Amino acid sequence: MKIWGAGTARSFRPIWVAEELGIEYELDPIGPRTGETKTDVYKALTRKQKIPFLVDRDVRLSESVAICRYLIGAYSANDLSPPETLKEGVKEDEWCCYVYGEIDETSLYVMRRHRDLAEIYGASEGVVKSAAAYAAIHFGILGEHLSKHDYLMERGFSLPDILLVSCIDWAVYYDVNVPSSVQAYRNRIAQRPAYQRAMQINYKDLMGEINAAVNGN
């Protein structure tokens, strides 16, 4: 098994899942806009020229959610397993779509485009502020749920938690305010050894900044 990509919230997710499941894998820690995704070798793997990307025998997958879902389905272990019923499956899909659609794509990645990637997409303080405000609305909704539940799913730790925690770290790094219940939820899950290993692997050059942000320093 080989995974390509490191340094982003989206590359962090499959690395974290692989660490949770104890899977042996090779990591090629290429970045998203370093030119490494545009080589002929990489373009032969995926025409999307994006990270993360996974090859496992005859399986080739892009998109962080799809990769994570595959790994959990193929190699489930410990307390990280796929849904057992249709009801659980669609509820998990609901949370995954909500976190990815409203927090990742519509909020945090919009901020990234018009701040970190301003040379490509154009700088816009107004767009960044609006996206941060939109993220705060949905973190508020999540905060209400997490004030009454330890995890997003009733059965316990699962894929939606991995997606959400990756977004919480991203949001705090971007100075987006999150409710205390969301921060407490993140801090509890961050004690997982697999999370800590994945952070060191994926963000090794940013660990100081990330730790300072999430600890409020």
Residues in a beta bridge with 59: 56
| 83-119 per-position pLDDT tens digit | 999 999 999 999 999 999 999 999 999 999 999 999 9
Q: Return the DSSP state at 100.
A: I
Q: Return the DSSP state at 147.
A: T
**Lookup: tokens for 159:** 């894929």
| 7-48 per-position pLDDT tens digit | 999 999 999 999 999 999 999 999 998 999 999 999 999 999
With CA atoms as reference, report the closest residue to 89 among 191, 158, 185, 10: 158
Q: What is the DSSP string of 107-140?
A: IIHHHHHHTTTHHHH---HHHHHHHHHHHHHHHH
Q: Return the DSSP state at 166.
A: H
Domains, the chain, ranges and CATH?
A: 86-193 (1.20.1050.10)
pTM of the model: 0.94
Place of tokens 């410990």: 78
With CA atoms as reference, report the closest residue to 110 among 137, 134, 138, 142: 134
